Amino acid sequence: MKPAPFSYFRARSASEAVALLAAAGEDARFLAGGQSLVPMMNFRIARPAALVDLNGCADLSYVILEKNRIRIGAMTRQLVAENDPLVRGHCPLLAQALAHAGPATVRNRATVGGSLANGYPLAQLPCVAVCLDAEMVLEGPQGVRTVPASRFFVSAMVTDIRPGELLREAVFPASGPRARQAFRESGNHAGGAAQAVVCVSKDADLRIAAAGLQDLPVRIPADFKAGGSYNEALVAALLEDALRACR
């Protein structure tokens, strides 16, 4: 439970972070809240040659409501986002999902961007992002580009982030006044890892996403029918409960 040797750089801004990563070489990685990467390093499963620490980047921590969209800076702590009045008022699904993202001690440190960039297939935030068609804003040496969630998550722990790029912001659509949203997850115990996740957003249209069916969260129809697998049965049960909550 001690990491292999690595170099450490502390960035003061997003652009400095991108520059530091480029200078640090191929095996360098960004450090956000450290709630996934640091344990992996302690297990010596992850062995980055260098870390570029984003925790000093004040320009990566914000929640802004702008043109019916909620923009969340990548370094916004999960507990901060969960309790942000803009998030609670305009993206209640995200607030509900964040409440399930781990114990409070973890959410105090963990970040919105960290969870999305990590791409864990059963994590709560990627499922919300896929459900709501969120957009990821990436900044690299070649400039800034925007990727929709449907293309951002590629497979388990693999995203569309290219070498050298920083996920600097996630953009979620603000819900309408009559929107109903519900988050449900099932695991073997409260507060632990989820076995399956379902997100439902009923606004101008009905959007549903599920995690636990494939190695990334996917959209599913409202009449989703379970086949033989346990996870399909779980998703069907969660969907039934979530749809009832959105009525």
Partner 1 sequence: MQMKSARIGDSAPRVEDEPLLRGRGVFFDDLDPGPGTLHVAFVRSPHAHARVLSVNTAAAMTLEGVVAAYSAADFAGEIKPIAADFAAPGFKVTQRPVLAVERVRFVGDTLAMVVAKDPYVALDAAELVECDLEPLPAVVDAAKSDQVVFEARFESEGFESVHRKSEMLLRESFSAARMAAVPIEPRGCAARFDAGKLTMWSSTQVPHMVMTCLAEHLGLAEADIRVIVPEVGGGFGMKAAVYPEELLVAAAARRLGAPVKWTQDRFDDFLTGTQAREHTYDVEAGFTREGVLTSLSADITVNVGAYASLPFGSSLEANGAPRNMPGAYRLRNFRYRTRGVQTNTCPTGAYRGVAGPLAFFAMEGVLDRIARKLGLDAAEVRRRNLVTEFPYRNVLGLDYAEGCFLPALERALELAGYAGLRKRQKEHDGKDGRAYGIGVVVATEQTGMGSARYKARGLHRVPGFEGATVKLETDGSASAFISQAAAGQGHATTFAQIVSDSLGIPLAQVRVVEGDTGRTPFGTGTFASRGIVIAGGAVAAASESVRRQAAEVAAGRLECGAGDVAFRDGYAEVVGVPAMKVSLRDIAAQSGGIAATERHDTPGATIASMAHVASVVVDKRTGCVQVERYVVVHDCGRMVNPMIVDGQIQGAVVQGLGEVLMEALAYDEQGQPTATSLMDYQLPRCADAMPIVIEARHSAEGAAIFKGVGESGIMAAVPAIANAVGDALARDGVSVTSLPLTAKAIHGLLWNRSG
Binding status of residue 193 toward partner 1 by CB under 8 A: yes
Angstrom distance (rounded) from CA 59 to CA 208: 32
Smaller CB separation from partner 1, 2 or 178 = 2
* Segment interacting with partner 1, rule: CB under 8 A, options 7-15, 18-26, 80-88, 233-241: 233-241
Residues 87/70, Cβ–Cβ less than 8 Å: yes
The span of 22-30, 49-57, 210-218, 229-237 binding partner 1 (CB under 8 A) equals 229-237
Rule CB under 8 A: is residue 108 a binding residue for partner 1?
A: no
Q: Binding string, 39-68, against partner 1, x = CB under 8 A?
A: x--xxx------------------------
Residue 244 φ then ψ, to 5°: -60, -40
DSSP code of residue 59: G
2 part of the interface to partner 1, by CB under 8 A: yes
Separation CA 32–CA 35 (nearest Å): 8
- 143, 188, 225, 227: residue in contact with partner 1 (rule CB under 8 A): 188
Q: Please, which residues have CB within 8 angstroms of residue 127's CB and are 6 or more apart in sequence?
A: 97, 197, 198, 199, 209, 210, 211, 217
Q: Give the separation between CA 135 and CA 138, rounded to whole angstroms.
A: 10
CA 200/CA 202 separation, integer angstroms: 7
Residue 42 beta carbon to partner 1: minimum distance, rounded to whole angstroms: 8
Q: What is the closest distance, in whole angstroms, from the C-beta atom of residue 76 to partner 1 in the complex?
A: 25
3-class secondary-structure state, position 187 = coil
Tell me if 8 contacts partner 1 by CB under 8 A. Answer: no
Site residues (vs partner 1, CB under 8 A): 1-5, 39, 42-44, 103, 186-193, 195, 228, 230, 233-234, 236-238, 240
